A and B are shown apart, each in its own frame.
Chain A
Amino acid sequence: MAKILEGPAMKLFNKWGIPVPNYVVIMDPDRLAQLGEANKWLRESKLVVKAHEAIGGRYKLGLVKLGLNLDGALEAAKEMIGREIGTSVVRQVIVAEMLDHDEEYYLSIAGNRDGSELLLSNKGGVDIEENWDTVKRLFIPLDETPSIERITEVAIDAGFIGEIAERVAKIASRLILCFDNEDAQSIEINPLVIRKSDMRFAALDAVMNVDWDARFRHADWDFKPVSEIGRPFTEAEQQIMDIDARIKGSVKLVEVPGGDIALLTAGGGASVFYSDAVVARGGSIANYAEYSGDPPDWAVEALTETICRLPHIRHIIVGGAIANFTDVKATFSGIINGFRESKSKGYLENVKIWVRRGGPNENQGLAAMKKLQEEGFDIHVYDRSMPMTDIVDLALNS
């Protein structure tokens, strides 16, 4: 799942003939002044300025400004660019034309196992959640394209009348094309409006998720997906992602501020169960981490050091199932080096480490881990005979 920002989404809309208002994405307010000289619409329309970042609740944070002229937009852009919101910084803003309109419609499409589903409502806008029962659905089986007539029927069913229904259906059919051809997972247009001045349709907002695994067949995807965790990535997360992109296997990290139990767990399935066990026992996790697919020891070492630096941690859970092919000895040697390095830098004081693991070369790996006791680590090592998540119980009861 890869969410993309409004700018790139609108670019893809344009490509597939879905009407969007005029817009520009800028990083430097001066550029907006220059664009204003070149583009009539910037000088003559009312404008909206929005922070072009993966930040939730932009409106409340003052990162959306409406009804501005070019000078006002310039002012707003200056104000927003460089603003720090938590750990993230606003680097780009999108400046778009505001369209005078009456009705707001809702149009979306999302994939499911057997194909996709088109959703339509003539009660779009910010209250869509409350008007969810007005939404009409059209299931589209895999590899099939519904006719304009069929979509029009659904539009009429959703309360669109006459020519508007046909026009909405036409836009929906282009949305389906865009969805299919761009390997999208979901696209939401809310609101879709009709501009009063010329009665043309335009998608005022775009929320789009594309399948990042399909990027190999999309040479024109010039964007990067934004963070999927509801906030921009931290520096440490970004570092681990950079490593992840370079190696065989994978290493992953999500920080969870405020927690005191750090996870250094193996495998996409098992790691989630470790998080669950901490939560189920009333603990709070300081992060989610995962290494899998037999990653190189240095990558695991980097992940380990990052985790050891998490603030206020009291326990580290080095957990994992019985690996199929991840070499326990090799990956543990990365973890051990990471622990040693961290300790020499003053981390890991009063931190208890709990280990449970099995898999190729488990005996050597576990023995090496156990030896850390001799170096003054508060470490507790268990083999496969310990039920997988029970080390969490031990940690929380200690």
Chain B
Amino acid sequence: MSILANKDTRAVIIGGIAGLNAAKRMAQFDFLVNRPLTVQAFVYPPEEGQQKEIYRGGELNNVTVYGSLEHAIAENPQINTALIYIGASRAFQSAKEALDAKGIKLVTMITEGVPEKDAKALRKYALEQGKIFNGPSSIGIMTAGECRLGVIGGEFKNLKLCNLYRPGSFGVITKSGGLSNEAMWLCAQNGDGITSAVAIGGDAYPGTDFVTYLQMFENDPETKAVVIIGEVGGTLEEEAAEWFGQEKRRIKLIASIGGTCQDVLPQGMKFGHAGAKEGKKGLGSARSKINALREAGAIVPDTFGGLSKAIKQVYLELQASGVIKPEPELDEKLLPVLPPSVQEIMKQGEVIVEPLIRTTISDDRGEEPRYVGYAASELCEKGYGIEDVIGLLWNKKLPSKEESEIIKRIIMISADHGPAVSGAFGSIIAACAGIDLPQAVSAGMTMIGPRFGGAVTNAGKYFKYGVKEYPNDIPGFLNWMKENVGPVPGIGHRVKSVKNPDKRVKYLVEYVTKQTTLHSPCLKYALEVEKVTTAKKDNLILNVDGTIGCILVDLDFPEYSLNGFFVLARTIGMIGHWIDQNNQNARLIRLYDYLINYAVKEEREVPEKK
């Protein structure tokens, strides 16, 4: 037996993410006591039609989110309880709808900060309908072994520690949510646990009161004693005392009242729950409540810590008088164990899972990212630069000072080449069409290929091949290229020639060969090749792709990484062009007719379709 919630309770949760979390906790309890899912539906218009995944132990359930309570109940007529988890501004309307719903007998609300006027009106409305409105600010209702409404009881482990898998003999009524859990624990530790526990919330005007539930507990034969935890403010505790003193009650009453400290605090200094406010002339003071309860025959220890002893004492007395039969010991090992998640088992090393991907360069599991083991901030602190990060992430090696300097210069030199080239132009057209940065830059990026900027990799690859296979035989190499590949990647320029050299190439070659000690066999080989090709045709010079490719091979970067340098460098330029166009508020552009040769058919009539 129990009050408020039992095996037959079927609930709808009105609200979003907080409600979903509560439903998950509730399903853990359902699993513990082996009952069907308590939560049958959600109502949350923004997510109408979605399914929420709820695990009852290892069993996955999908619970539907409805756009209206009406719809939820029409499809789930078994629902008899509503939990309100929606924001304070909409809580009143939701609760009222729930109280209007025919099958719903109990509405409990966790929402905090509900206006007093709304709470008062809901209480009145529920009374008129002969229903229970519990809350606002209620953590929920727990009936041991039968039903959990809300997150009351906390984590799964705690449900077991508090013996909530089977009924005890104590009822619990608290204003505070945290203390409802504490009280359940005290009843388990010092007695045989609870029948039901209910948090009525700490607001000034809760929908229910101690007396409502005391009467229910009095009528519940399994409940032998009730623990109430109240606090300064209002008169609900005084009313409980009055009820208890009115006539001989079957249940024992143990109480603790918070707020005695306010007697000694400076006038007007108030804190705690919204309802914890003493009225004029000591009305609702903790002291007056304690006195009233003691006079009515309740046991009220002088501090909260004294509750343990009080509960134990009542429990032993009830046992001695035979009211409570000794509980047969239950082997806790027989209780179900919540299936752990994969992550948890992995942590304990009890299962092997084939990894989906492998990484050898980067690790984000610590406090900050580590590149091939080095903490990013430490690299910054020790004076490393972006070139070194490239060396680490692309080649897993920290370059030397000289090497990083070369990498840096390659990137600087390749960062942009004006608006006319395919990449920049692509980005500019996109920017002018109002496309956002990542997409516009990608538009430029898609241009990088065999004819534009994409020759670095192949240049590096084939010159490296030449160094290896035709070290002293340039004609042999060119012959092999002609037969197997075609034009040599990295050789040739549309505009530049021997007489009109590419300054970038000149600069890079001079820098690497004259100002550094880099061993550069590939670059030197390419320059030898250039001598042969330019002898044939003036514009068959070593171009910038070829130069960069060779230098990077000499720097020991893997062949297939080489295009990355151009991609990286040119991204800087393309982002710049996108920003530039946006700064100028550039308009949509289209080609002028005179830039197009319309080599098309004359106008003619469309024939009838056959």
Which B residues touch A50, using CB under 8 A?
Answer: none
Smallest CB separation, A320 vs chain B (Å): 7
0/1 interface trace, chain B 288-308, chain A, CB 8 Å (1 if under): 000000000000001111111
A256 close to chain B: CB less than 8 A: yes
A213 touches B178 (CB 8 A): no
Instruction: Tell which of A213, A280, A358 has the most Cβ of chain B within 10 Å.
Output: A213
Which B residues touch A277, using CB under 8 A?
Answer: 303-305
Which B residues touch A28, using CB under 8 A?
Answer: none
A1 touches B303 (CB 8 A): no
Q: How far is the CA of A358 from the CA of B154 in the complex (A)?
A: 10
B223 close to chain A: CB less than 8 A: no
B116 touches A276 (CB 8 A): no
A345 close to chain B: CB less than 8 A: no
Q: How far is the CA of A349 from the CA of B170 in the complex (A)?
A: 45
Q: How far is the CA of A55 from the CA of B261 in the complex (A)?
A: 23
Question: Among the listed A216, A281, A320, A390, which residue makes an inter-chain contact with B178, where contact means beta carbons less than 8 Å apart?
Answer: A320
A359 touches B155 (CB 8 A): yes
Which B residues touch A361, using CB under 8 A?
Answer: 155
A183 close to chain B: CB less than 8 A: yes
Which B residues touch A143, using CB under 8 A?
Answer: 121, 124
Residue of A nearest to B117 (CB): A183
A211 close to chain B: CB less than 8 A: yes
A216 touches B268 (CB 8 A): no
A390 touches B305 (CB 8 A): yes
Which A residues touch B274, using CB under 8 A?
Answer: 1, 213
A272 touches B272 (CB 8 A): yes
Q: Name A267-284 residues within 8 Å CB distance of B.
A: 267-273, 275-281
- Chain A interface SS verdict (over half): mixed
B182 touches A321 (CB 8 A): yes
A1 touches B305 (CB 8 A): no
Q: How far is the CA of A260 from the CA of B256 in the complex (A)?
A: 25
Question: Among the listed A231, A288, A325, A393, which residue makes an inter-chain contact with B271, where contact means beta carbons less than 8 Å apart?
Answer: A288
A358 touches B303 (CB 8 A): no
A292 touches B178 (CB 8 A): yes
Q: How far is the CA of A217 from the CA of B276 in the complex (A)?
A: 24
Count, chain B residues at interface, CB 8 A:
68
0/1 interface trace, chain A 203-221, chain B, CB 8 Å (1 if under): 0000000010110110000
A230 close to chain B: CB less than 8 A: yes
Q: How far is the CA of A143 from the CA of B260 in the complex (A)?
A: 35
Question: Among the listed A142, A276, A390, which residue makes an inter-chain contact with B258, where contact means beta carbons less than 8 Å apart?
Answer: A276
Question: Among the listed A271, A273, A276, A323, which residue makes an inter-chain contact with B181, where contact means beta carbons less than 8 Å apart?
Answer: A323
Q: Name A109-146 residues within 8 Å CB distance of B.
A: 111, 113-115, 142-143
B353 close to chain A: CB less than 8 A: no
A171 close to chain B: CB less than 8 A: no
0/1 interface trace, chain A 225-269, chain B, CB 8 Å (1 if under): 000111100000000000000000000101010000000001111
Q: How far is the CA of A390 from the CA of B232 in the complex (A)?
A: 21
Which A residues touch B286, using CB under 8 A?
Answer: 276
- Pick the interface stretch among A30-38, A159-167, A308-316, A381-389: A381-389
Instruction: Tell which of B113, B177, B234 has the most Cβ of chain A within 10 Å.
Output: B177
B303 touches A269 (CB 8 A): no
B271 touches A358 (CB 8 A): no
Residue of B nearest to A266 (CB): B178
Which A residues touch B264, using CB under 8 A?
Answer: 279
Which A residues touch B305, using CB under 8 A?
Answer: 277, 387-390, 392-393
Smallest CB separation, A259 vs chain B (Å): 10
B158 close to chain A: CB less than 8 A: yes
B271 touches A254 (CB 8 A): yes
B182 touches A322 (CB 8 A): yes
Residue of B nearest to A111 (CB): B116
Residue of A nearest to B202 (CB): A268
Smallest CB separation, B120 vs chain A (Å): 6
B202 touches A1 (CB 8 A): no
Instruction: Tell which of B158, B182, B264, B307 has the most Cβ of chain A within 10 Å.
Output: B182
Smallest CB separation, A2 vs chain B (Å): 11
Contact (A276, B261) CB under 8 Å given A183-B115, A321-B179, A387-B305: yes
Q: How far is the CA of A143 from the CA of B177 in the complex (A)?
A: 30
A358 touches B117 (CB 8 A): no
A256 touches B269 (CB 8 A): yes
0/1 interface trace, chain B 114-158, chain A, CB 8 Å (1 if under): 111110110110000000000000010000000000011111001
B434 close to chain A: CB less than 8 A: no
Question: Among the listed B178, B256, B261, B276, which residue makes an inter-chain contact with A267, where contact means beta carbons less than 8 Å apart?
Answer: B178
Question: Among the listed A269, A322, A388, A393, which residue makes an inter-chain contact with B272, where contact means beta carbons less than 8 Å apart?
Answer: A269
Q: How far is the CA of A293 from the CA of B181 in the complex (A)?
A: 14
Contact (A358, B185) CB under 8 Å given A230-B268, A268-B273, A279-B264: yes
A213 touches B116 (CB 8 A): yes
Q: Name B453-490 residues within 8 Å CB distance of A.
A: none
Q: Name A57-78 residues within 8 Å CB distance of B.
A: none
Contact (A276, B182) CB under 8 Å given A1-B277, A211-B116, A211-B117: no
B88 close to chain A: CB less than 8 A: yes
Which B residues touch A322, using CB under 8 A?
Answer: 154, 158, 178, 181-182, 185
A280 touches B260 (CB 8 A): yes
Q: How far is the CA of A285 from the CA of B485 in the complex (A)?
A: 86
Smallest CB separation, A359 vs chain B (Å): 6
Q: How far is the CA of A113 from the CA of B286 in the complex (A)?
A: 19
Contact (A269, B268) CB under 8 Å given A111-B116, A322-B154: no
A388 touches B123 (CB 8 A): no
Smallest CB separation, B225 vs chain A (Å): 18
Contact (A269, B121) CB under 8 Å given A290-B271, A324-B152: no
Which B residues touch A320, using CB under 8 A?
Answer: 178
B213 close to chain A: CB less than 8 A: no
A358 touches B179 (CB 8 A): no
A230 touches B304 (CB 8 A): no
Q: How far is the CA of A341 from the CA of B155 in the complex (A)?
A: 31
A-B contacts, 5 of them at CB < 8 A, read A214-B117, A271-B272, A324-B181, A325-B25, A387-B308
A111-B205, A269-B231 are known contacts; what are 8 more A-B pairs with Cβ within 8 Å? A211-B116, A229-B268, A269-B175, A272-B258, A285-B261, A293-B112, A320-B178, A321-B176
Nearest 4 Cβ contacts at the A-B interface: A269-B176, A230-B268, A267-B178, A321-B182
**Chain B residues engaging chain A, CB cutoff 8 angstroms:** 21, 25, 88-89, 112-118, 120-121, 123-124, 139, 151-155, 158, 161, 174-182, 185, 189, 202, 204-205, 229, 231-232, 234, 256, 258-261, 263-274, 276-277, 286, 302-308
